[in-house]
């Protein structure tokens, strides 16, 4: 089963911003205990890479715990996230350079898309999964149904 299918089966991916990497392991444990063995740690804080590293190293006996990196904007952030142990990458927008870099190094990527043109670019890059972002501001479910 591929990464996106695993995330789909979980159903909810908590998106978290961690300001102190020391908080990462207790938060991961709480998610696991609550039946959500996954997290998207955003790169909106300086502690993101260390938080991902702490989470992935704390649960090596649980290979199904999926920790990824979110709000990833650059190839350098992709590399930092992967080095820290991230198993997937999420970005707020569709940057073909970043997507191609993820594909080249073999890390699943789910870029943000907000319109049919973004979706077409994603398809042309071979992607099958995208994130509708910002969903509510872009029209929510009504907009999804229309496209």
Q: Which of the residues are catalytic?
A: 40, 131
- Nearest by Cα to 42 from 22, 18, 23: 18
- Nearest by Cα to 92 from 111, 114, 79: 111
CA distance 92 to 132: 9
Q: Identify any residues that bridge with 38 across adjacent strands, giving them in sequence order.
A: 66
Token duo for residue 146: 């229309």
Residue with tokens 């994603």: 122
DSSP-derived 3-state class of residue 21: helix
């Amino acid at each position: 089963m591929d990464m996106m299918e695993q995330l789909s089966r979980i159903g909810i991916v908590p998106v978290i911003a961690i300001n102190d990497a020391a908080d990462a392991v207790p938060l991961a444990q709480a998610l696991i205990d609550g039946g959500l063995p996954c997290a998207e740690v955003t790169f909106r804080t300086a502690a993101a890479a260390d938080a991902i590293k702490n989470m992935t190293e704390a649960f090596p006996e649980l290979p199904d715990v999926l920790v990824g990196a979110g709000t990833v904007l650059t190839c350098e952030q992709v590399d930092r996230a992967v080095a820290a142990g991230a198993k997937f990458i999420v970005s707020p927008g569709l940057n073909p350079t970043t997507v191609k870099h993820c594909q080249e190094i073999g890390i699943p990527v789910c870029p943000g898309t907000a319109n049919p043109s973004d979706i077409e670019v994603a398809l042309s890059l071979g992607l099958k999964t995208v994130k509708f972002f910002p969903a509510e501001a872009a029209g929510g479910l009504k907009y999804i149904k229309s496209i």
